Amino acid sequence: MRLTGKKVIALLDEEFEDLELWYPVYRVREEGAEVHLAGLEKGKTYIGKYGVPATAEYAFDELDSKDYDGILVPGGWAPDKLRRYDQVLQLVRQMDTDRKPIGQICHAGWVLISAKILQGVTVTSTPGIRDDMENAGATWVDEPVITDGHIVSARRPADLPPYGQAFCDALAKV
């Protein structure tokens, strides 16, 4: 239970990739961390790409990054929506400034791109957004998981076991 006392935000919007949300959430909870699901609307149930629901316990505007130790951004189509919310970008930027773990998988890199925090960072993602990542100033590599400082990135659901481990390792250091 090395993460006891740690608090993490997990971002929600419609069509999140089901496994890319729930696997990391359960993984960090297994190690003792508290995870809060956050969406644009508190109490709203968002539906994943494959039909798995997740209900927002908090609205983005209720959160203060100072109260949290890390943030998880799932993939799927949700990141294309999440990156349009100023509150989300502010949370991610503040987590970056404070060097708190930021976990992103698959298309979640779009949120980090829009937050403008990838200049000089080595990352991975789904190959479909490689150009986007590189155009944002990142060095993109095709590996299951990359940890560059406090940013932990992964490509796809098959990479969830090492991604979950890497995020928990980063969170344990905070």
- Domains in the chain: how many in total? 1
Structural domain contains residue 156:
yes
Give me the catalytic one of 36, 106, 150, 168: 106
Q: What is the CATH number of the domain that holds 121?
A: 3.40.50.880
Structural domain contains residue 72:
yes
For 2-19, the pLDDT digits (tens) are 999 999 999 999 999 999
Which residues does 67 contact at the CB level (< 8 Å), separation at least 6? Answer: 7
pTM score, two decimals? 0.97
Q: Which amino acid would we find at residue 63? A: L
Structural domain contains residue 66:
yes
Structural domain contains residue 102:
yes
Q: What percent of the chain has pLDDT over 70?
A: 100
Q: What is the pLDDT of residue 39?
A: 98
The C-alpha atoms of residue 90 and residue 24 are separated, in whole angstroms, by 22
Structural domain contains residue 1:
no
The C-alpha atoms of residue 168 and residue 165 are separated, in whole angstroms, by 5
Structural domain contains residue 60:
yes
Q: What is the pLDDT of residue 21?
A: 98
Catalytic status, residue 168: no
The C-alpha atoms of residue 155 and residue 142 are separated, in whole angstroms, by 8
The C-alpha atoms of residue 138 and residue 114 are separated, in whole angstroms, by 13
CB neighbours (10 Å) of residue 10? 24
Q: What is the pLDDT of residue 3?
A: 98
Reduced to 3 states (helix: H, G, I; strand: E, B; else coil), residue 68 is: coil
For 37-59, the pLDDT digits (tens) are 999 999 999 999 999 999 999 99
Which residues does 42 contact at the CB level (< 8 Å), separation at least 6? Answer: 56, 57, 58, 59, 62
Token pair 């509150």 in the structure block, residue: 87
Catalytic status, residue 106: yes
For 116-158, the pLDDT digits (tens) are 999 999 999 999 999 999 999 999 999 999 999 999 999 999 9
Q: What is the pLDDT of residue 154?
A: 98
The C-alpha atoms of residue 79 and residue 91 are separated, in whole angstroms, by 14
Structural domain contains residue 111:
yes
Q: What is the pLDDT of residue 143?
A: 98
Structural domain contains residue 2:
no
What domain range includes position 146?
Answer: 7-172
